[in-house]
Structure 1
Amino acid sequence: MSETSATDVLQDGFDRVRQAVERVLDGLTEEQLTHRAGGSANSIAWLVWHLTRVQDDHVADLAGTAQVWTGEGWAERFALPLPAEDTGYGHDSGQVAAVAATAEELLGYHRAVHERTRAYLSGVPNADLADVVDEAWDPPVTRVVRLVSVIEDDLQHAGQAAFARGLLPRGRV
């Protein structure tokens, strides 16, 4: 039996996020993606965009690289009326409504971020996972804690998107 490393476990977590995103986006129209249950809930488009933006932002910070969003032209492709550095944190209702995209755009961006994440993880020695990356917290945040936090946040938002999909008006899924 081969030994499983911590980075293998992290990669499995991010693979599960990708799978959840693919399932929730499958077959949806832009109208369905931007539907907001009750008129004000976060849309599927916003949830998937946001979880991908957070992953992109945090992994790029850990890797010391440009984000996929800005470095690979996704901000221009989406052409959202938001600052390029925006990740969706603290968005109000109007900002949530401004996030509109097709399933293909959302999935393309998510897959690009997922590939960047896998590439980053493949080069991180297990010993480096214990490095402190944020001393603003008590206890300070290590690289592995930051990555687990991203997985946890992403899976919560992917679950919210799946729930929102189930709330779409009948005949629209």
Structure 2
Amino acid sequence: MDTRELLLDHAARIHELYAAVPDGLDLERAHEKPLGVGNPVVWLLWHAARVQDDHVAGLSGEPQAWASWSSRLDLPLPVEDFGYGHGPDEVDAVRVDDLDLLVAYQAAVHELTLSYLRTVDAEELDRVVDDQWDPPVTAGVRLVSVIGDCLQHLGQAAYVKGLL
């Protein structure tokens, strides 16, 4: 398996896991905070998709899917917000009327991700995308970070769903 195939496989797994989390979950429960204080499933799903969208668009240079999806989900947050550093008030603001909209948004993010990953080669993976760190962050390191973040948040969402 080459690197591109490996990355495409990771993206497919994220997409499958994402779609599975809201399956069978009602909207009220999806907004419920575990133990009254944790992040609800809706926020975890939204955040996972937003991080992937933001970071992959930053690598590809293409517009984020959120540019056309933010008005559909109509959240009272700045359009550039992807959930980093959210406190309880911002978490509470992430409310949706339909879980299928979140799944559809992530599907759009997934397609943009696949489009970018199909172009990735060794040179692209070695491209420095952020020299504010030591060592500088390459596209490959950023992709590994996105994969890890998405899988972590989807695992959290599945766990919270199980608690509910």
Aligned partner of 1:32 among 1, 26, 29: 29
SS at match of 1:28: coil
Conserved 8 A contact 1:30-1:100: no
Match of 2:71 in 1: 76
Whole-angstrom CA distance in 2 between matches of 1:37 and 1:31? 12
Q: TM-score, normalised by structure 2?
A: 0.96
The structure that has the greater radius of gyration is: 1
Aligned partner of 1:7 among 1, 4, 9: 4
Aligned partner of 1:132 among 128, 133, 148: 128
Match of 1:21 in 2: 18
Match of 2:47 in 1: 50
SS at match of 1:25: coil
Conserved 8 A contact 1:26-1:103: no
Deviations 1:29-75 (A, max 9, x none): 211110111112101000010010010000101111111001xx210
Whole-angstrom CA distance in 2 between matches of 1:55 and 1:100? 19
Kindly report which structure 2 residues correspond to 1:63-102, keeping only aligned pairs within 5 A, or say none. 63-70=60-67, 73-101=68-96, 102=98
Whole-angstrom CA distance in 2 between matches of 1:8 and 1:138? 29
Q: TM-score, normalised by structure 1?
A: 0.91
The CA RMSD over aligned residues, in Å, is 0.9
SS at match of 1:165: helix
SS at match of 1:129: helix
Query: Among the aligned pairs, what percent are the same residue?
Result: 48
> Could you tell me which amino acid in structure 2 is paired with residue 96 of structure 1?
V
Whole-angstrom CA distance in 2 between matches of 1:123 and 1:56? 17
SS at match of 2:21: helix
Match of 1:114 in 2: 110
Q: CA deviation at 1:160?
A: 0.2
Deviations 1:6-34 (A, max 9, x none): 11111111111111111111122211110
Deviations 1:87-145 (A, max 9, x none): 00000101101111222011000010001100111122232211111111111111111
